[in-house]
Amino acid sequence: MKRVAISVGDLGGIGIELALRAHAEVRTLVDPIYLIDRQMLAQAADLLRLPIPEDFTVVSPGVDPFPIQPGQVDAAAGAYSFASFRAAVELCAQNDADGVCTLPIHKKAWELAGIPYKGHTDALRDFFGREAIMMLGCPRMYVGLYTEHIPLREVPDALDPERLTRFLLDFHRETGAESIAVLGLNPHAGDGGVLGDEETLIAQAIAQANRSIQNPKSKIQNRPFTGPLVPDTAFTPAMRSRFRYYVAMYHDQGLIPLKALHFRESINVSLNLPILRTSVDHGTAFDIAYGGGVPDPTSYLNAVGYIREAKR
């Protein structure tokens, strides 16, 4: 059975409740190791009025305990969630775990704690010196994000044919997908330049990526990338019957259709790294934390299940 290091996320949110409530089911999938110390675990369990399972294996992330502020942005919670994440990654990097599953953090809490990253993926790039790719989805549809957490006004300037070509090739190698839909940036994919000409750059990258994958000894044309596609029709039922993997140019372009279709079951996967990392595809849900409602464990269980099934 695979060992999975689970970072507990922001302790003011729903992450620790998910970990406690879903532990029995997670334990049937993998051997979980929770990156939290006993004192913080006991405090959270007491606030939640939940028992701590006897086989709930913990490893301290090595930072001082603090009073949990349910449903609030808190610098101490931000610092603890980052330490939990960093410790989980270290376990995996040292081959003491087969993968990392992260429960949700709060980006503002990280900022208040002085953490110099906007999220897990940014940090992973720095930890490993690799261009990690953020892919979200479920077996029915996965979306890779060319740009992630940047202001919308910066997206056009980030469209570099060489960088996008490298992104496409890495995405293809990591997923093994035979057909990948690449979205345009502008409405109607630019309408031949009438509504914007960024699609010219995207088309260059697609052509170069397809050429790079060609086998010169084969008569069969292997062109996995199709596009740039008109974004507002790329996710129709007819298109989703053709494509299971998509590349979006920016965050909301890919995640609005994904979450409209598969919000409960989708997960976050970090590709192009020496370790396997997955995450839930939802936030801290401060509005229901510690008594406002029982969180849905579907995304968490799917994130753990992805590691279990991964061929690495």
Same domain, 251 and 122: no
Query: What is the SS3 assignment for 185-225?
Result: CCHHHHCCECCECHHHHHHHHHHHHHHHHCCCCCCCCCCCE
The percentage of the chain sitting over the pLDDT mark of 90, rounded to a whole number, equals 92
Per residue in 181-197, pLDDT tens?
999 999 999 888 899 89
3-state secondary structure of 273: coil
- Reference 146, options 274, 66, 246, 214; nearest CA is 246
Same domain, 94 and 7: yes
Q: At what angle do helices 198-213 and 161-175 cross, to 10 degrees?
A: 50
Same domain, 137 and 248: yes
Q: What angle do CA 184, 187, 191 make, to 5 degrees?
A: 80
Length in residues, the chain = 312
What secondary structure letter does DSSP report for 275? Answer: S
Q: At what angle do helices 75-93 and 120-128 cross, to 10 degrees?
A: 40
Query: What burial letters (b/e) apply to 153-173, b meaning 16+ CB within 10 Å?
Result: eebbeebebeebbbbbbbbbe
Same domain, 18 and 42: yes
Distances (CA, A) of 226 to 127, 207, 288: 33, 9, 41
Same domain, 123 and 144: no
- Domain containing 53 equals 1-132+273-312
- DSSP string across 34-54: EE--HHHHHHHHHHHT-PPPT
Q: For every one of its 312 residues, what pLDDT tens digit does the chain have, with 9 covering 90 and above? A: 999 999 999 999 999 999 999 999 999 999 999 999 999 999 999 999 999 999 999 999 999 999 999 999 999 999 999 999 999 999 999 999 999 999 999 999 999 999 999 999 999 999 999 999 999 999 999 999 999 989 999 999 999 999 999 999 999 999 999 999 999 999 999 888 899 899 999 999 999 999 998 765 544 457 899 999 999 999 999 999 999 999 999 999 999 999 999 999 999 999 999 999 999 999 999 999 998 889 999 999 999 999 999 987
Same domain, 121 and 95: yes
Same domain, 164 and 117: no
- Pairing relationship of beta strands 277-280 and 267-271 according to DSSP bridges: antiparallel
- Tokens standing for residue 187: 């409405």
Same domain, 189 and 256: yes
Domain total of the chain: 2
Same domain, 183 and 112: no
Q: Is residue 60 classed exposed, middle or buried when 0-12, 13-18 and 19+ CB atoms within 10 A define those classes?
A: middle
Chain mean pLDDT for the chain: 95
Contact 303, 85 (CB under 8 A): no
Per residue in 143-158, pLDDT tens?
999 999 899 999 999 9
Beta-ladder partners of 138? 141
Per residue in 66-76, pLDDT tens?
999 999 999 99
Give me the phi and psi of 179, to 5 degrees please. -135, 125
Q: In the chain, what are the helix, strand and coil shares in percent, each to the nearest 5?
A: 45, 15, 40
C-alpha to C-alpha distance for 101 and 7, rounded to whole angstroms: 7
Same domain, 109 and 180: no
Residue 216's domain is classified under what CATH number? 3.40.718.10
Same domain, 147 and 221: yes
The predicted model scores a pTM of: 0.92
Same domain, 125 and 162: no
